Chain A
Amino acid sequence: ETGVTQSPTHLIKTRGQQVTLRCSSQSGHNTVSWYQQALGQGPQFIFQYYREEENGRGNFPPRFSGLQFPNYSSELNVNALELDDSALYLCASSGPGQGLNIQYFGAGTRLSVL
């Protein structure tokens, strides 16, 4: 149990729709990272938020956007959904004082785009 919670657990959308995924970070953690894990693949880094600012972004188009709130929880928004957006979306939090900035993952949100 990492203390990182994600909602919803599963989601079904149709192509062209918009979706918002939510993540509550572990207590004391001020950094949240989002990853996309396609079936049978390793997670791919989408972006990271540190103290409410985007702090690094992977190779994902602008229709993937995010927010981090003052309590360090976070949202991932995806606009104009495409079939290839079907994946497990993982949130990871990390905090100060850990030296290595170890990331703790939630169980993920499985998004299916039809």
Chain B
Amino acid sequence: GNSVTQMEGPVTLSEEAFLTINCTYTATGYPSLFWYVQYPGEGLQLLLKATKADDKGSNKGFEATYRKETTSFHLEKGSVQVSDSAVYFCALSEGGTASKLTFGTGTRLQVTL
């Protein structure tokens, strides 16, 4: 079956540091890939997405590139802010009529001044 593996957290960074959160996936077909973010006490918000190999998703300074050869979708940001502190989830969907999302376990990011 499908699965998503994320790097374990928490990740603690100083403000303006470079962020990478690793994500790899296993899927039988050609999934679409997503990063969702969950702020404390809130639901999930879509951060970015990519639908096919070599696509780059980007939003709010975050980027991730769909790498089919390495089955990866690593999240990066050049300069993090305190307000980026949250839990980040990598997810995939194989589409179709029941396009369920398969999530990783999440990576908590803590950014300090």
Partners in one complex: yes
**Are the C-beta atoms of B93 and A104 separated by less than 8 Å?**
no
In the complex, A6 Cα to B44 Cα: how many Å? 13
**Are the C-beta atoms of A56 and B98 separated by less than 8 Å?**
yes
* Stretch from B14-22, B76-84, B103-111 forming part of the interface with A: B103-111
Size bracket, chain B contacts: 20 to 34
Choose among A42, A43, A100, A105 the residue that contacts B32 (Cβ–Cβ < 8 A): A100
Please list 13 pairs of residues, one from A and one from B, whose beta carbons are closer than 8 Å in the complex, sorted by A's number: A41-B105, A42-B91, A43-B89, A43-B101, A50-B97, A55-B97, A55-B98, A56-B98, A58-B100, A90-B44, A100-B49, A100-B95, A105-B44
Question: Is A27 interfacial (CB 8 A cutoff)?
Answer: no
Contact residues in B for A55 (Cβ distance below 8 Å): 97-98
In the complex, A104 Cα to B49 Cα: how many Å? 13
A-B contact count (CB 8 A): 65
Choose among B36, B91, B99, B104 the residue that contacts A94 (Cβ–Cβ < 8 A): B99
In the complex, A50 Cα to B104 Cα: how many Å? 25
In the complex, A94 Cα to B44 Cα: how many Å? 14
Contact residues in A for B103 (Cβ distance below 8 Å): 42-44
Question: Is B42 interfacial (CB 8 A cutoff)?
Answer: yes
**Are the C-beta atoms of B101 and A56 separated by less than 8 Å?**
no
Question: Is B61 interfacial (CB 8 A cutoff)?
Answer: no
